[in-house]
Amino acid sequence: MSKETFIMPAYIPPKARSLFEPHRLFLMTVFVAIVFCAAWFMRWDWLPRYGERLAYGVWQTLILLFWSSIVGFLFAVPIGLVQVTGPRPLAWLARGFCSIIRGTPILLQLWLLYYGLGSIFAQYPELRSSFLWPYLRQAWPYGFTSLMISFAAYEGEVMRGAFAGVPRGELEAARAFGMGRFTMFRRIWLPRAIHRALPTLSGETVLQLKSTPLVATITVIDVYAVISRVRQDTFLTYEPLLLLALIYLCLTGILVAAFRFLESRVPTRET
Amino acid sequence: MKNIIRTVAMAVAIGIASFGAVQAQELKVGFAAEPYPPFTSPDANGKWIGWEVDFMDAICAEAKLKCVITPVAWDGIIPALTTKKIDMIIGSMSITEERLKTIDFSDKYYNTPTGIIGQKSEKFAATPEGLKGKIIGVQVSTIHQDYANKYFGPGAAEIKEYQTQDEANQDLAAGRVDAVQADAIALDAFLKSDAGKCCDLKGNVKDDPAILGAGVGVGLRKGETDLKNKINAAIKAIRANGTYDKFSKKYFDFDVYGG
Amino acid sequence: MPSGLELLSLSPPGWGGVMLAGLVASLELAVGGYLLGLAIGVGGAFGKLYGGPILRDLLEVYTTVIRAVPELVLILLLYYAGTDAVSQLFLLVGLPAVDISGLAAGIFVIGVVQGAYSTEVLRGAIKAVPSGQIEAARAYGMSPLLTLRRVTLPAMLPHAIPGLANLWMIATKDTALLAVVGFSELTLVTRQAAGSTKAYMTFYLAAGMLYLLVTLVSNIVIALIERHARRGMPRTGWT
């Protein structure tokens, strides 16, 4: 692969052209007709019964997304940094970590963590009496850890590029001002690197959102799990899944809009 | 340059060829794609073995049908049937009112009580009182999920739903759930295995035919009476001519058909 | 009960053979899905750049929806809906009912998801080709198809390769999601092997190694292709 970090073409919002061009109006009519047909011919009577649970599921998904991204990003900073400036063994370790996590499916990592570790825990009865056990026996810590690790690895790769991309001159100028290594890192290098990585954050977070439903396979209840429940209760094939797709579509839209708002808040100067 | 054209052409060809469909001749029998001993489990050869495999072979031979095993995810096995990915379900699926609204069933071909297992060190009964405050593991889209939610749901700490029975058992061994509810026969197979040494049977639950159904049948699409009649006749025939008892003896020392 | 590495040996009682068969299934899915995605991508990219307004808007909806909804959900939807739609279509045209093999359905699912990403990658790459080159081709009297074959495609290839390479990596990993619908690819057979033998750690780690091996080999091949495609290009200038 090429040396530069290639960023996934995640979600790039379409340009806002006029919604009222004639062909758009035509397409919108067709779309409304399809939605109407879907509402009319498909079964939606289950919807009110699950409304509350669906809201809870969406909330759980968002919490998982939020915390796994934040903590993952905190790990991504040192992972990116040591690859650029750290001592050799640490750099190798960080690079190996990124390659392994990015080279294997997250579903496999998740199952390895949950069922693999679970089978190991079963061999140590003393663990069950420890204070950690109430947490270890729940499913969400594993789901969270797995998502967090994956975000750290992908974003760590981005941060490596961002740290390496901060112009040398800026760092040399900081040194010339007599800044210590740590001050320079805190005041110049880190903020500039994060600034450079910001545009990718939106895409990475959307990718992270799209990974969250995997935790449902290890009994964590998120919006996907709630919809699975609907599917099993009603034996409907399409309706719940279509609703789920719509929910994720909205979540992605909100996420992208939020990031665009944030980015507009951060002053940028084209260099 | 030529390479690119060739690649693209090939991609299109493969895309079209992948839809190049085969005429329907053989019946696809949907199996849950998971180890469910002693009924269906994959072995190290990649083949399926177990009581239900023998059962399938027997009825397909009797009814002169060509059957191929098609593994499907358990939680999607009914949609797979209704969208014609498979033609019948042989997967220890109990005949219940709820399922009969969507699919059809053959006559029952075996019956099993519903049991609850737990860690040996913990003593409790398989009753709503005994399971108060416990975490109960069940497999999704099963009668056990419905039963546990109705009877134990109010008192239990949590009802955890697993994609496969095997994972529920594994989490019981790992101590993440306190109890697992499932078919007594399948649970017995787990308790006899190495991993099941941790645990023992706490008892069978009180029957509720409305939820637990009246035995296990072959799942079929609605309206396919022809196939249904063939299979019912085949089940009757192998029960009458001793084939059923013959292959059952390999697995069980009791009458799995039930009363 | 055999233990440790014995469980991974290629012949029973080891599950190595089953796992390799799973790996082959995964690779078949990935290759098929990737190529189908590429075909959709080429069509989609040209549709987006040169198509009419309605086609362009429809493609925009396709790429936006596919990229905003989790692959897991898309796979579930397409896996059931795709085959259903094809059989309905055949019925409509009057052809007899058909069976669609699990592999074809899997390739279809991966291909449709990949197609949306390929469309974007290829569109970006085509746009990176200086328009003067295409105009020059047209000025020479080349037909649009000839322009595409002789100028646009070869000129955009170096720009597309990093993105397409990335998509290949994603395709190999996305095949694991088909485990959720019960397709016997590497992740699912690993789960079955782990469940049957209770040696969870052994099998999940072994599967991880296999996936990693695929990634590493792919990286080497991609580096070779990249060097080949970039020959004659200036070393710097674009990133």
Domain boundary assignment for chain B: 25-111+214-249, 114-212
| Structural domains for chain C | 4-229 (1.10.3720.10)
Asked if B11 lies within 8 A of C35 by C-beta distance, the reply is yes
Is 60 exceeded by the pLDDT of residue B24? no
Better pLDDT: A193 or C11: A193
Name the strand (E) or helix (H) holding C210.
helix C200-229
Query: Residue C88's pLDDT band (boundaries 50, 70, 90)?
Result: confident
Cα–Cα distance for residue pair B249/C12, rounded to 1 Å: 25
Residues of B in contact with C86 (CB under 8 A): 19, 21
Is 50 exceeded by the pLDDT of residue A6? no
Is 60 exceeded by the pLDDT of residue A92? yes
Residue C225 burial by Cβ neighbours in a 10 Å radius (0-12, 13-18, 19+): middle
Q: CA of A247: how far to CAs of A164, A252, A253, in Å?
A: 38, 9, 10
Residues of A in contact with B175 (CB under 8 A): 121-122, 128, 133, 137
Reported ipTM: 0.87
The pLDDT value given to residue C110:
94
Task: Look over chain B and give the mean of its residue pLDDT values, rounded to a whole number.
Answer: 89
Token readout for C27 is 């690779």
Better pLDDT: B102 or A269: B102
Token readout for C69 is 């909804």
Task: Residue C175: name the closest of C73, C101, C107, C76 by CA.
Answer: C107
Contacts with B, A 70-129, CB within 8 Å: 115, 118-119, 121-122, 128
Better pLDDT: C95 or B81: B81
CATH topology of domain B114-212: D-Maltodextrin-Binding Protein; domain 2 (3.40.190)
Cα–Cα distance for residue pair B15/C109, rounded to 1 Å: 11
Query: Residue A268's pLDDT band (boundaries 50, 70, 90)?
Result: low
Is 50 exceeded by the pLDDT of residue C98? yes
Share of chain C above pLDDT 90, in %: 52
Is 70 exceeded by the pLDDT of residue C239? no
Residues of C in contact with B44 (CB under 8 A): 12-15, 17-18, 193
Q: Which of A122, A228, A237 is nearest residue B173 as measured by Cβ atoms?
A: A122
Asked if C18 lies within 8 A of B194 by C-beta distance, the reply is no
pTM of the model: 0.88
Note the pLDDT tens digit of each residue in A184-226. Answer: 999 999 999 988 888 888 889 999 999 999 999 999 999 999 9
Asked if B167 lies within 8 A of A121 by C-beta distance, the reply is no
The pLDDT value given to residue C79:
85
Asked if B174 lies within 8 A of A118 by C-beta distance, the reply is yes
Q: CA of C35: how far to CAs of C23, C38, C227, in Å?
A: 18, 5, 21
User: Which amino acid, residue A107?
Assistant: L
Asked if B76 lies within 8 A of C182 by C-beta distance, the reply is yes
User: Which amino acid, residue C54?
Assistant: I
Give the minimum alpha-carbon distance from B162 to chain A in angstroms, rounded to a whole number.
Answer: 6
The pLDDT value given to residue A16:
54
The pLDDT value given to residue A3:
42
User: Going by CATH, does the domain composed of A49-265 fall within 1.10.3720.10?
Assistant: yes
The pLDDT value given to residue B88:
95
Cβ–Cβ contact A54 with C under 8 A: no
> Contact, B91 vs B40, CB < 8 A?
yes
For the segment B105-117, the average pLDDT, to the nearest whole number, is: 95
Asked if A121 lies within 8 A of B163 by C-beta distance, the reply is no
Is 60 exceeded by the pLDDT of residue B4? no
Rounded to 5 degrees, what angle do the CA atoms B144, B147, B150 make?
A: 145
Is 70 exceeded by the pLDDT of residue B232? yes
Give B158's DSSP letter.
E
C9-18, C25-34, C230-239 — which one is most confidently predicted on average?
A: C25-34
Cα–Cα distance for residue pair B163/B33, rounded to 1 Å: 10
**Taking CA atoms, what residue in A is nearest to B159?**
A219
Note the pLDDT tens digit of each residue in A103-118. Answer: 999 999 999 999 998 8
Q: Which of C17, C96, C184 is nearest residue B23 as measured by Cβ atoms?
A: C96
Give the minimum alpha-carbon distance from C40 to chain B in angstroms, rounded to a whole number.
Answer: 8
Is 70 exceeded by the pLDDT of residue A156? yes
Q: Which chains touch B (3 or more CB pairs under 8 A)?
A: A, C
Share of chain A above pLDDT 70, in %: 91
> Contact, A219 vs A114, CB < 8 A?
no
Query: Residue B23's pLDDT band (boundaries 50, 70, 90)?
Result: very low
For the segment A114-124, the average pLDDT, to the nearest whole number, is: 86
**CB within 8 Å of C105: residues ≥ 6 apart:** B85, C79, C82, C83
Name the strand (E) or helix (H) holding B72.
strand B67-72
Q: Which of C64, C72, C162 is nearest residue A6 as measured by Cβ atoms?
A: C162
Residues of C in contact with A120 (CB under 8 A): 201
Q: CA of B41: how far to CAs of B98, B113, B220, C182, C199, in Å?
A: 27, 21, 22, 14, 16
> Contact, B254 vs B184, CB < 8 A?
no
Better pLDDT: C37 or C151: C37
Q: Which of B4, B28, B46 is nearest residue C18 as measured by Cβ atoms?
A: B46
Residue B163 burial by Cβ neighbours in a 10 Å radius (0-12, 13-18, 19+): buried
**CB within 8 Å of C90: residues ≥ 6 apart:** B21, C96, C97, C98
Is 50 exceeded by the pLDDT of residue B71? yes
For the segment C110-114, the average pLDDT, to the nearest whole number, is: 94
Cα–Cα distance for residue pair B224/B204, rounded to 1 Å: 35
For the segment A86-103, the average pLDDT, to the nearest whole number, is: 94
User: Which amino acid, residue B201?
Assistant: L
Cα–Cα distance for residue pair C82/C97, rounded to 1 Å: 14
Residue B83 has φ and ψ, to the nearest 5°, of -95, 15
Q: Residue B13's CB: how many other CB atoms inside 10 A?
A: 13
The β-bridge relationship of strands B104-110 and B179-183 is: unpaired
The pLDDT value given to residue A145:
96
Q: Tell me the residue ranges of DSSP E strands in B145-215.
A: 158-162, 179-183, 199-204
The pLDDT value given to residue C147:
87
Query: Residue C121's pLDDT band (boundaries 50, 70, 90)?
Result: very high
Give the minimum alpha-carbon distance from B97 to chain C in angstroms, rounded to a whole number.
Answer: 24
Cα–Cα distance for residue pair A13/A240, rounded to 1 Å: 26
Give the minimum alpha-carbon distance from C239 to chain B in angstroms, rounded to a whole number.
Answer: 23
Cα–Cα distance for residue pair C164/C65, rounded to 1 Å: 20
Query: Residue C220's pLDDT band (boundaries 50, 70, 90)?
Result: very high
Share of chain B above pLDDT 90, in %: 76
Residue with tokens 């990133």: C239
Q: How many CB pairs under 8 A join A and B?
A: 50
Helix axes C102-128, C16-50, angle to 10 degrees: 40
Residue C224 burial by Cβ neighbours in a 10 Å radius (0-12, 13-18, 19+): exposed
Note the pLDDT tens digit of each residue in C164-194. Answer: 999 999 999 999 999 988 888 999 999 999 9
**Taking CA atoms, what residue in C is nearest to B19?**
C104
**CB within 8 Å of A55: residues ≥ 6 apart:** none
Q: CA of B247: how far to CAs of A98, B75, B242, in Å?
A: 52, 28, 9
Cα–Cα distance for residue pair C234/C239, rounded to 1 Å: 11
Note the pLDDT tens digit of each residue in B120-153. Answer: 999 999 999 999 999 999 999 899 999 999 999 9
The pLDDT value given to residue C1:
46
Q: Residue B234's CB: how many other CB atoms inside 10 A?
A: 22
Residue B218 has φ and ψ, to the nearest 5°, of -80, 125
Residue C183 has φ and ψ, to the nearest 5°, of -80, 130
**Taking CA atoms, what residue in A is nearest to C117?**
A9
User: Going by CATH, does the domain composed of B25-111+214-249 fall within 3.40.50.970?
Assistant: no
Asked if C32 lies within 8 A of B14 by C-beta distance, the reply is yes
